[in-house]
Structure 1
Amino acid sequence: MKKRIALLLAMTMAATAFTGCGNTTNTQSGTTSQPQSTTVSNDVWPAIGSKDAPVTVKVLVKDVLPTEEDVIALCDVVEKKMAGHGQYIDLQFVEPPAGSYATALPLAMRTGDVDADIVYFQGGGDLPIAQEGLLEDLTPYIQSSTYVKDLMLPVNQSRLKNYPYLLWLAPARTYVPVMKKELTTKLSSYDALVKDPTIDNYHALFTEMKAKGLVKYAITADDSNNAGEGNMRRLNAFFNQAFGVKSTLVKEDGRWAFSRATESEKKKLEFYASLYKEGLLDSEYLTNTWDVLEQKFYEGKAGIISGTVGDVIQIYNNKMSSTTGSDLVVLPPAKGVAQGFQAVDVTKEERGFALNAESKNKNAAWAFLEFMASPEGRIIDKCGIEGKHYKVENEKIVFTDKYPEWWSRIWVTTNKFEPNPPLARPVYTDAAQSSLDLANQYYVEDVNVLIPEELAPQWDAMKSLYDEYSADIIRGTKPISAFDEFVTKWNKAGGDKFAEYLKTKLG
């Protein structure tokens, strides 16, 4: 089996399982009917089952409980809406296997203990299952689709081309930096940064917010070590491109090499070391957990953090607004050698929905996924259950006080979400929507390769070396000149062997 590792190309909630949600009681009695989408040709809705014999569609998703009132209502309204198009299904969500989802699910798939037509993967484990022929190739389904195909972003298209077994209609999980809007009015360097986000202007912003005593640290990070990024993935997300770390793999002196062992990386680490020395970078960045990091931000100890576009920025904004009265603003990626957010891995989807190759009802299962991507399905997915999470007033969708309890069970994307009737207020706050817009504007694709099992030990050793040296350089326990020593050890640990392998893969 092969392991995945991200590299870069310069361009670039979850649900536990349900059982038997079908044929449930309608919870919408007494409410107005759900808004209808624009009528489309019957060709869009191929016949599925019949009123007297609906086709059972079983779905397994992490963190969606079968006994939840909202889940029961979801099944009920989806069945009724699909029946209106001549597609009769009995929608059921099934319990996931016990244990860690990422490890228990693949095992259950192999043993035949997963009785589901649609399976949601998260946290890995799908690659070997796909290689064993247990997942269906989604290419022909998507090619013949109307709504799913229309919602796909470039990242979805690239990943599907490389790995046609998982589909996740969502933007790339890019990190973007945010800060309190309230702070921007107290910083003369803010406008200059927004106009021209150079590395120097970022440094000026960091320096001013600390010098004025507005924060203890300008920026913070956490101990989540992702693929050997030395705990700096949140900063890397908006500084990598500016320093010329434009991809995980780059070509230097006629051979492919990892960007972690390049002069561009050295300059970036030197910059991080200066931030640490000046007290601008949180001195506890190596030991902060994600919740500690976020709490420092909410309490005003840290001026800037970066988070995942869309939903996470929405959470950050709502919490900050409720505790301090200030919304957030999203900052652009730093500009230098290049400008963009960190390159996005397009080798495959990291999470998403798959069709069980053993399913006898693949067409009906796909019809459900297609419906949820349609205008009608998206109103359900994004707005919730009419009468509970929203109501229609003055020909507009108005969210109720129960709306914050709702979240998308299937497609989280807001791409092309223009419901009819329209929303009285947007689904996302300005900050969350801005994060999505900027991520699309500064989208960069990574160059990716699959690492053979025989080189996995070398890769682990190389990552450990990087983590050690990058942390020591940033904290000043090693001088920046130690980077050259690191490169020598890196190549000896496996860099030279990888060069040979990469030549066969990338030329």
Structure 2
Amino acid sequence: MKKRGVLVLLVLLTAISIVGAAGTKETAAAVQSGAIGSAGNPVKVTYLCKDVDPITDAQQLGMLEKAIEEGMAKEGKYVDLVILSAPTGSYATVVPIAFRTGQINPDLIYFQGNDQPLAQEGLLEDLTPYVEKSVNVKAIMGDHTKAAMKNYPYLMWLAPARVQIPVMRSDWFAKLKSGKALLENPTVDNYYAMFKEIKESGMAKWPITTDGGILKIDSVFNHAFGLTATIVKENGRWVYSNATKASRDKLAFYAKLYKEGLLDNEYVTKTWETMEQAFYEGSAAFVAGTAGDVVNVYNNKMKEAQGVELVVLPPAKGVGQAYQSVDVTKESRGFALNADSKVKDAAWAILEYMAGPEGRKLDKLGLEGIHYTVEGGKYVLTKQFPSWWAKFWPTMNGLDTSNVVGEVMSKSAIDSLNAAAKYFAADTNVLLTEDLLPLKDAMDKLYREYSTDIIRGVRPISDFDEFVTKWNAAGGTRISDYLATVLK
């Protein structure tokens, strides 16, 4: 039974009784005929997504709603799309809580974590039958997404594999004596030499910066140190790589970078905004951003701030060479269908439309008259275009650029996608049962505490052994026993 409160159940039952038989007949008819609503009676669909806020961006989002509704109406699907504001607070934390308690109840909802317990409680719809019947979604879905949805069919994110790619200003990189050696042989030592040259030349205060944690730089160095997957085999047992010797060696390297002023000594308190500001203003030389759209934003903003483009750098080479391993146990973010929604077919129809030719144009090119103009049958991108980002599917798949005048995606962004494909590595991971999730959360908290203290020199690297002992006591041993039953 779904774990909603009694009050929420009463509200839902009341709403169902109000809708009555008419709504039920209309939904059944829509399923049988493929039609959605009617011109005089469109189906209301509510949508919630991070950073898509009708309060702060009423004009453009109002135009987006209208464009989607009009486009779908041409296909005989009539919807009334309503974009909602998210509750105040950290999106990844507050949205799942608000959804579980019934504070919010959107039909389409974007998650950025903490969705798995909701799926296990039956609050999210299995998308498998919708995908199987789709045309547009299937056409633009990547192999990594297909694999992830086989394992976890409650979340869908039609985007390139989410890989953090290191970038630098191209003019600065060209001045470095160590740059050529790095490209020819990107070992950990050659990366270290490049960071040293940046620091000693006075090019930037901090050769490397990041946003509060080490995930972005892990994408550059994990495989070089031997952290080739989330779960690895060590001494005959399946264990999380965070608690292995390879992790110890990597943290010792990061501590060296921090001590020598090569890693931003303020990284723990930096947000993504202050990280990016340091990069654009030149106090930091090296950051990592998600392949494709994020690298594109970084490139466009650097062109505005400094008049230069970015260069994409390879992952470090050592035990292995790849960017962060891509987890296909489940999508880490994406759209879900509310299992209690009474308009699932209409909600899915919106996702399907935005994956089709007209939806791709709208999602990636933006709004006519603002982000592009139509001239002689061509879509001419305006100066406002770089400020636009896809509100549904951040992929270039399905977008016809043959009649677009202007740069939809910068060379640096395209290079980042090519690099992500070249240095791709699939992850080994397992979806834990609900009773093991709290243990893993406690273990992750321990890792963040010890890794941060070791990097900053608050703890010596020898304390890593103490961390492993606590990690195993907190749940590492029990989870390893479980992994042995799942991984063969």
**Is TM > 0.5 for Structure 1 vs Structure 2?**
yes
Aligned to 2:447: 466
The residue that corresponds to 1:450 in the other structure is 431
TM-superposed deviation, 1:317: 1.9
Provide the residue aligned with 2:175 in structure 1. 186
How many Å apart are 1:108 and its aligned residue?
A: 5.8
CA distance in 2: counterparts of 1:112 and 1:279, whole angstroms: 48
Shift of 1:268: 1.5
2:192 to 191, 203, 227: 203
Q: Which residue number in structure 2 is paired with residue 90 of structure 1?
A: 79
What is the RMSD computed on CA atoms of the aligned residues? 2.9
* Displacement after TM superposition at 1:364 (Å): 3.2
Aligned partner of 1:502 among 470, 480, 483? 483
The answer on whether the counterparts of 1:55 and 1:364 sit within 8 Å (CA) in structure 2 is: no
1:11-45 deviation per Cα after TM superposition (whole angstroms, max 9, x unaligned): xxxxxxxxxxxxxxxxxxxxxxxxxxxxxxxxxxx
Partner of 1:26: none
Counterpart residue identity of residue 159, structure 2? A
Match of 1:79 among 61, 69, 76: 69
| Among 352, 360, 372, the residue aligned to 2:334 | 352
Query: Is the contact between residue 55 and residue 361 of structure 1 (CA under 8 Å) also seen in structure 2?
Result: no
Alignment equivalent of 1:386, drawn from 368, 373, 381 = 368
Q: Which has the higher helix share?
A: 2
Structure number with greater CO (CA < 8 Å, separation at least 6) is 1
Pick from 254, 267, 290 the counterpart of residue 285 of structure 1.
Answer: 267
Q: Which amino acid aligns with 1:61?
A: L
Matches within 5 A, 1:190-339: 190-223=179-212, 231-339=213-321
Distance change >3 Å, CA 260–CA 388, structure 1 → 2: closer
Shift of 1:331: 0.9
CA distance in structure 2 between the aligned counterparts of 1:105 and 1:469, rounded to whole angstroms: 29
> What is the DSSP-based 3-state SS (H/G/I as helix, E as strand, rest coil) of the residue aligned with 1:76?
helix
| Shift in alpha-carbon separation, 1:106–1:177, aligned structure 2, 3 A | closer
Partner of 1:374: 356
Q: 1:96–1:105: 8 Å Cα contact kept in structure 2?
A: no
Asked whether the 8 Å contact 1:198–1:334 carries over to 2, the reply is: yes
In 1, Cα distance between equivalents of 2:253 and 2:390: 40
Q: Name the structure 2 match of 1:10.
A: none
Q: In the alignment, which of 409, 421, 425 is matched to residue 406 of structure 2?
A: 425
Q: Report how far residue 403 of structure 1 moved.
A: 2.7
- In 2, Cα distance between equivalents of 1:107 and 1:304: 36
Asked if the contact 1:103–1:125 (Cα under 8 Å) also holds between the matched residues in 2, the reply is yes
Q: Deviations over 1:256-276 (max 9, x none)?
A: 112122221222122223323
Structure 1 residue 242: deviation in Å?
A: 1.0
Letter in 2 for 1:75: E
Tell me the equivalent position of 1:176: 165
Q: 1:128 to 1:96 in 2, by over 3 A?
A: farther
Give unpaired runs (5+ residues) of structure 2. Answer: 2-32
Q: Give the counterpart letter for 1:387 in structure 2.
A: G
Q: 1:83·1:89 contact (CA, 8 Å) conserved in 2?
A: yes
Q: Distance in 2 between matches of 1:358 and 1:405?
A: 35
1:41 corresponds to = none
* Deviation, structure 1 residue 176: 1.4
Cα separation, 1, equivalents of 2:174 and 2:285: 13
Are the structure 2 counterparts of residues 113 and 383 from structure 1 closer, same or farther at C-alpha, using a change threshold of 3 Å?
A: same
Q: CA deviation at 1:491?
A: 3.1
Whichever residue aligns with residue 45 of structure 2, its letter is: K
Alpha-carbon distance change, 161 to 472 in structure 1, aligned in 2, over 3 angstroms = same
Kept in 2, the 8 Å contact 1:129–1:135? The answer is: yes
Distance in 1 (alpha carbons) for counterparts of 2:469 and 2:121: 39
**Partners of 1:356 and 1:59 in 2: CA distance:** 10
The C-alpha deviation readout for 1:127-163, integer Å capped at 9, x for no partner, is: 3433333332211211121111111112211221111
Q: Distance in 1 between matches of 2:220 and 2:46?
A: 37
Q: 1:384 to 1:289 in 2, by over 3 A?
A: closer
Residue of structure 1 in register with 2:415 after alignment: 434
CA shift, 1:387, in A, is: 3.3
Aligned amino acid, residue 332 of structure 1: P
Which amino acid in the other structure matches residue 65 of structure 1? P
Matched to 1:60, the amino acid is Y
2:154 corresponds, among 146, 153, 165, to 165
Gaps of 5+ in 1: 2-45, 224-230
Letter in 2 for 1:380: L
Kept in 1, the 8 Å contact 2:155–2:335? The answer is yes
Aligned to 1:149: 138
Contact 1:221 1:285 in 2 (8 A): yes
Bigger drift between 142-151 and 461-470 goes to: 461-470
CA shift in 2, pair 1:468/1:353, >3 Å: closer
Q: Is the 8 A contact 1:120 1:351 kept in 2?
A: no
- Does the C-alpha gap of structure 1 residues 426 and 496 become closer, same or farther in structure 2, counting only changes over 3 Å? same
Deviation string, structure 1 residues 213-258 (Cα, Å, up to 9, x no partner): 21222212332xxxxxxx3212111100111101121111211112
1: distance between equivalents of 2:473 and 2:39?
Answer: 68
1:121 aligned partner: 110
Q: CA deviation at 1:497?
A: 2.6
Would the aligned equivalents of 1:147 and 1:374 in 2 still touch at CA under 8 Å? yes
| Equivalent position SS for 1:449 | coil
Cα shift at 1:390:
1.3
1:58 maps to a residue whose letter is V
Q: Is the aligned partner of 1:415 residue 2:415? A: no
Given that 1:235 and 1:306 are in contact with CA atoms closer than 8 Å, whether structure 2 keeps it comes out as yes
